[in-house]
Amino acid sequence: LPKGMASLLTAPLVRENSMEDIDSVCLHCENSLLLCTCAVGCFMNSWFIKLDFSPTACNPWPCPAEAAPLWIENKNRLLFSQPEETEYRFSSQPFLLATVEGKHQDLKYITSEVMVSVLSGKFEHLVERTLVIDCRYPYEFEGGHIKGALNLHQEEEVERYLLKKPITPSSPDKRVLLIFHCEFSSERGPRMCRFVRERDRMLNQYPALFYPELYVLKGGYKEFFPRFQKECEPQAYRPMDHEDFKEDFRMFRLKSRTWAGERSKRDFYNRMKKL
């Protein structure tokens, strides 16, 4: 026999792969790939679930779009409850009062008309108590303020009045509303509103809150007074930079800055202790 023919006859027989065999191999590969994908998916899910996030005081939402890629944000929407359902202490009730846009996007603003509606008892069947927190300096408050308002212009005063012994509703169907304002509701009122939310977060386990509904009066007392003088006592308006109270202004401004500095130091020490 020819040399090439002899090697061909002595070689082991090899069966030609049929289309059925090829399909079987492909199916095996697809199954392996599917199992691998599922394993990776399970790992990714467990990784997402183990994420330990802590929302800030000013921003109660757990995962803002600007802080993570879009695909992570969408993943979180599936894994975690919606923000609207976690903002409140025991239920997913929406905010009671109608809100409008304001200077600070993270805060809820109401108009002077809504404020009057609340004070007149329009929502008394849903609200157990409404506290209007006037964050202006005492000489401003004494010169004219909204009836029933509390003059709490320092953070320690607000913390002592609202958080040492929180004001809670007598039944789950009732609410306690806090409405902050200052002269223009530009700085002091919003800052105090954020302070209460921050301290409230620290005292509770997320998402529980003593005061879920915090509002800021848009335009402050300056915008409220000309339109609703009958809701003020005395019926007058004393601006912060009044000529007769320059010394008072400097004194209270200095106290505010001193308190802010001490608070920053305390917060820093508290953070260091937790490390």
Active site residues: 182
Distance, in Å, from the CA atom of 32 to the CA atom of 64, rounded to the nearest integer, reads: 37
Q: What is the dihedral of CA 239, 245, 248, 254, to 10 degrees?
A: 60
Q: Which residues of 187-213 are buried (b: 16+ CB within 10 A; e: fewer)?
A: ebbbbbbbbbbebbbeeeeebebbbbb
Measured CA to CA, the distance from residue 57 to residue 195 in angstroms comes to: 8
- Phi, psi (rounded to 5 degrees) for 153: -100, -5
Q: Burial level of 128, CB count in 10 A (0-12/13-18/19+)? A: middle
Q: For residue 262, which of 138, 152, 153, 155 has the smallest C-alpha distance?
A: 155
E-assigned strands of the chain?
A: 109-110, 127-134, 145-146, 150-151, 175-181, 214-217, 232-233
Closest CA to 79 of 106, 40, 53: 53
Nearest to 62 by CA among 42, 44, 77: 77
Q: What's the token pair of residue 220?
A: 């402050």
The upper half-sphere exposure of residue 75, i.e. CA atoms within 13 Å in the direction of its Cβ, equals 14
